[in-house]
Amino acid sequence: MAKQFSVNDILQFDQRYRATFINSLGGFKSLVLIGTINKKKQSNLAVFNSFFHLGASPPLFGFIIRPDSAERHTLDNILSVKEFTVNHVNESFYKQAHQTSARYPQDISEFDATSLTAEYKTNFAAPFVAESNIKIGARFERRVDIIENGTILIIASIISVSLPDDCILEDGYINLEKAGTITCSGLDSYHKTTRIARLSYAKPNLPLAETDEVFERADNTNNQIKQKNKEQ
């Protein structure tokens, strides 16, 4: 039997129950660690599940910062330094990623508190997470204040990407599963994924085809050629 809730029912939920209910309702989320630094070279790391794709040309993404905490280190650092990193979470360090959500004082780096490794690259101020397989260097573009609930949308552009070369297929698709990227639901539930299929571009009057095999075959051939070239 399906349970039905009206908006009035939802508003009468206990506050924590409502937050957990609505947070889960948003579906499976991108799970990332955002690495920042302030002008005094104090690093910061925090987990976010609101990271989303905004557009490919130019490559843009967004994420949401909550209004509820007095100190928002990620926000402050991004607004002052304008650069930050976005690091996919892998199964091997999801507990450490979760721990970064604790409210550490500003002078304590979550890198130290969780033993995740800060990795610095030339000409880029913010720290990456060395343990992460997919890492993005990002530049702050714009802050949008969401008047309905006081949250803040950060719009940023992608300026660099680092990922294992065997996780990019022939057509540019990134095999997130192969890279070990995990997902989450709500604010405390972590999940591995299983792909069902990749499908062809949908067109009216054209049957869909499963494309996984085509790209993976092409990719394997490419890898074999690369390997041969290396051996020669």
Ligand X SMILES: Cc1cc2nc3c(=O)[nH]c(=O)nc-3n(C[C@H](O)[C@H](O)[C@H](O)COP(=O)(O)O)c2cc1C
Nearer to ligand X, 110 or 169 (CB): 110
Least Cα distance to 88 among 8, 31, 18 occurs for 31
Residue 29 φ then ψ, to 5°: -120, 155
Give the shortest CB-89-to-ligand X separation in angstroms. 9
Q: Given CA atoms 31, 97, 69, 107 in this order, what sign does their dihedral have?
A: negative
Provide the terminal-to-terminal Cα distance of the chain, rounded to the nearest Å: 65
Residue 66 or 142: which CB sits closer to ligand X?
A: 66
CB of 144 to ligand X, least distance (A): 14
Q: Which is nearer to ligand X, 180 or 186 (CB)?
A: 186
Shortest separation between residue 37's beta carbon and ligand X, angstroms: 12
Q: State the minimum distance, in angstroms, from the CB of residue 5 to ligand X.
A: 24
Alpha-carbon distances, residue 188 vs 95, 110, 201 (angstroms): 10, 18, 35
- DSSP 8-state code for residue 181: B
Give me the residues that bind ligand X (CB under 6 A), please.
44, 46-50, 63-66, 69, 71-74, 98, 101, 103, 184, 187
CB of residue 177 to ligand X, shortest distance in Å? 20
Nearer to ligand X by C-beta: 99 or 162?
Answer: 99
| Least Cβ distance, residue 72 to ligand X (angstroms) | 5
Residue number with CB closer to ligand X (101 or 162): 101
Q: Which is nearer to ligand X, 35 or 137 (CB)?
A: 35
Residue with tokens 């970064």: 100
The pairing of strands 135-145 and 83-88 is: antiparallel
> CA-based angle 15:19:23, to the nearest 5?
170
Distance of CA 14 to the CA centre of its chain: 30
